[in-house]
Amino acid sequence: MFKTITSRQRTSPPAWAVLERQLIAAMNEAGPLFIEKYTRPGGALIWREDYPGDGVWADDLYEAFFNWPLFYALGGSSYFSEMAVQEWNAVTRQIEHEYGRAHKEFISDDDWFHNSENYIYFYYLGMADPSNTEMVRRARRFAGFYLNEDPAVLNYDPQHRIIRSPFNGSKGPLFHARYADVQYNLEHGHTTLGPGFALPPKWHEDETLRRQIHARFDEVVMHGDVVVNLGVVGLATCAYLYTGEAKYKNWVVEYVEAWLERIEKNSGIIPDNIGLGGQSGENRQGQWWGGFYGWTGRFSLHMMGSAMMLAAECAQLLTGEARYLDLIRSQLDVLLSQGREQDGKVLVPFKHTDAGWGEWGAPLPQDPIHLWAASMAPGDWQLLERLRRGSEAEWQTVTPRGPRTLDDRAWVRFLAGDHPNYPEQILQANYDEICRRVEMIQGDEADLHLVDEHHWQVRNPVVTEALVQLTTGGPQTIYWGGLAQGRVRYFDGQRPGLPADVAALVTKLGADSMELTLVNLSVCATREVVVGAGSFGEHQFLAVQAQDERVEIDDRYFQVRLLPGTQIELQIEMQRYINQPAYAFPAHTGRGI
Summarised one tens digit per residue, pLDDT across range 394-431 is 999 998 887 777 899 999 999 999 999 999 999 999 99
Query: Does 313 or 300 have the greater pLDDT score?
Result: 313
591 pLDDT above the threshold of 60: no
Cut 0.95: pTM above it: yes
347 pLDDT above the threshold of 70: yes
User: Residue 55 has what pLDDT?
Assistant: 53
Strand ranges of the sheet holding 495-496, from the earlier edge strand across to the other edge: 4-7, 557-562, 527-533, 488-492, 495-496
282 pLDDT above the threshold of 90: yes
Summarised one tens digit per residue, pLDDT across range 572-582 is 999 999 999 99
Residues with Cβ within 8 Å of residue 307, at least 6 apart in sequence: 112, 113, 116, 227, 228, 229, 230, 231, 480, 481
User: Residue 277 has what pLDDT?
Assistant: 98
CATH number given to 1-39+390-593: 2.60.40.1180
35 pLDDT above the threshold of 70: yes
Give me the residues paired with residue 566 across strands.
Answer: 10
Residue 404 class from Cβ within 10 Å (0-12 exposed, 13-18 middle, 19+ buried)?
Answer: middle
Q: Give the whole-angstrom CA distance, residue 136 versus residue 142.
A: 10
User: In angstroms, how far is CA 135 from the centroid of its own chain?
Assistant: 19
263 pLDDT above the threshold of 70: yes
Q: Give the whole-angstrom CA distance, residue 123 versus residue 120.
A: 5
Q: Give the whole-angstrom CA distance, residue 126 versus residue 238.
A: 8
Summarised one tens digit per residue, pLDDT across range 461-480 is 999 999 999 999 999 999 99
Summarised one tens digit per residue, pLDDT across range 11-33 is 999 999 999 999 999 999 999 99
Burial per residue of 249-286, b for 16 or more beta-carbon CB atoms within 10 angstroms, e otherwise = bebbbebbeebbebbeeeeebbbbbbbbebbbbbbbee
Q: What is the mean pLDDT of residues 93-122?
A: 95
Q: Give the whole-angstrom CA distance, residue 255 versus residue 76.
A: 36
Q: Give the whole-angstrom CA distance, residue 333 versus residue 402.
A: 31
The CB-side HSE value for 205 (13 A sphere, CA atoms) comes to 3
Please report, for residues 125, 172, 424, the alpha-carbon distance to residue 550 in angstroms, rounded to integers and kept in the order given.
36, 56, 30
E strands, 123-164, where? 156-157, 162-163
The CB-side HSE value for 104 (13 A sphere, CA atoms) comes to 18
User: Residue 590 has what pLDDT?
Assistant: 43
Summarised one tens digit per residue, pLDDT across range 494-528 is 999 999 999 999 999 999 999 999 999 999 999 99
Contact 297, 189 (CB under 8 A): yes
57 pLDDT above the threshold of 90: no
User: Residue 50 has what pLDDT?
Assistant: 82
User: Residue 589 has what pLDDT?
Assistant: 56
Q: Where are the domains of the chain?
A: 1-39+390-593
